[in-house]
Every structure is written in structure tokens, then in C-alpha cells.
Amino acid sequence: MSPSSFINHHVQNRIGYIIFNRPESKNAITTDMWRSIPDLLDMFTRNDCEVVVLKGAGGVFAAGADLLELEALQTFEEAEENWNAICNALMSVGECSVPTVAAIDGPCIGGGCLLAIACDLRYATETSVFGVPVAKLGIVLDDGTVARLVSLVGAGTAREMLLRGNLLNAPAAQRAGLVNGVVPDLASLDSLLSKITEDLLDNSALSVEASRSSINRVCGLNSFPSVEDPANIIESYLTEDFKKRIAKALGKSSEEK
């Protein structure tokens, strides 16, 4: 499968780069983009990449899933296909065989934030904003994704983010443990990223992988996916409440729904 035209990718110095490049839509992630992520990670690791970096173009990491695509979902099969693409992408990042780093500049919302928290490390500029406002859209998340968030920020902050739909600015995200570091601007982020990837490449791959696996076990992340019913997640994309909330998010009047 060819990667989405909205994702730039390349390999440099044993580092694979995934760059979301849809700035006119704030890098909103389409189903095709979600599907491309596992294939790109597989290609990188097969070509001996030792680190993978996720970035966004145009001053945005990713402002969530594509709302127009979500609005168009009509059947259980369509919603299932969409959810499977999202779930597989998040799982592929979370279970990648090499360290993953999210370099975040600007909005990192919804699906973009879920991708970032699936990475091993996250670094951001001061203008970055984070949130998972699923409650504002009526979307249900899987336990594994929620567990990743809770493992980073704790149950209290996770409740604020998921139940209230609160957004965190970069300093607050760092205090909460959502990001590992915050720098003033994109140039500083690129400089820090060079140092981070240099450390990862120089360190023992055996030790790094053992530590990653141990951290996941200690945090209970290896126990997912859980026994939850995926139908509850898929059906949340088809409810009347979801349709109304999507229309509102898109700025549509009741006559346009």
C-alpha cells in the first residue's frame, strides 16, 4: 500500500521520519493517513531504522481525526473500518520495535494527542496545546488508549482531560507528565530532537528495548487490548448525539446536518 499523500516520510541517519503534511486542515488525520502509519513503521524497521520520529508540518502536530470523514460515517461497517484504522495505527506506534519520539509544535489534539502519547517520548514547543476532547464529540475510547494516558498523567488529570475535555498548554502538559520537555520555538525543538535521537542511537539497543518492555509491564500496558466490547466504541460514531456534536464542531446549522 502506498503511503498517504498527506504524510511525508524519509530516513536519515538510521532515523525514520513521519511528517503529517496537511496544514490547510491543521493536519487532521484521514482514514488513509491512519492506515499508512503501520506500513511506514514496518518499512522503517525493515530498513534498519533505530528510531522513529513523528512530526507535523505548518506549525501543527495534528488537530485530531478528520471531522468531515467522521461526519460521513453511516453504517456500522464504515465506522468499524474507521476505528480499526485508528486502533491499528495507535497500536503500531505503541508496540513499535524501536523507540518513538513525538516532536510537537502547535495543536496536538484528539487523534494527534493519542498518537503522541503512544510514543515513548514527547517534546514540545511553548505554543503547543494538548487535549483529548472526546466528551465534546461523544466518542468512546478503548481501554488501552486510556491506560496510556493514565500512565503518563495519572487518573486525576486524565479525568480532567477526558470528562471535561480540558486542554493543556505546554507548561501544564510538562507538569502533568504528558510531555518530557518544552522548548521556546521550533528551532530549539529541532536542536533538542537532534540530541534526543543521538542519545537513543548511541545507547545500547538491548538495554533500551528491555527498559521499554519493563516500563510497559510495570504500567500494565501489556495487558491490553482488554475484554471491552469494541462495538461500544464503533457505535459511538453513529449516534445521533455524535452527529449533532460533529455538525456543531464543523460550524453547521441544524438545517445543514
Mention every residue, 6+ apart, whose C-beta is less than 8 A from residue 191.
183
Say how far residue 91 (Cα) sits from the centre of its chain. 10
d(CA 69, CA 35): 14
Q: By three-state DSSP, how is residue 56 classified? A: strand
Place of cell 497500536: 91
The strand pair at 51-56 and 15-20 is best described as: parallel
Determine which of 141-150, 201-210, 247-256 has the lowest per-residue pLDDT on average.
247-256
The angle formed by the CA atoms of residues 196, 117 and 7, to the nearest 5 degrees, is 80
CATH code of 7-184+204-256, in short, is: 3.90.226.10
d(CA 83, CA 141): 10
Average pLDDT on 193-214 reads: 95
Residue 225 pLDDT exceeds 90? no
Q: How confident is the model at residue 251 (pLDDT cuts 50, 70, 90)?
A: confident
Q: Which helix (H) or strand (E) holds 235?
A: helix 230-235
CB 154 within 8 A of CB 168: no
Burial class (CB in 10 A: 0-12, 13-18, 19+), 127: middle
Residue 240 pLDDT exceeds 80? yes
d(CA 178, CA 149): 8
CB 29 within 8 A of CB 111: yes
d(CA 126, CA 182): 6
pLDDT tens for 110-158 read: 999 999 999 999 999 999 999 999 999 999 999 989 999 999 999 999 9
d(CA 63, CA 25): 8
Is the whole model's pTM more than 0.75, yes or no?
yes
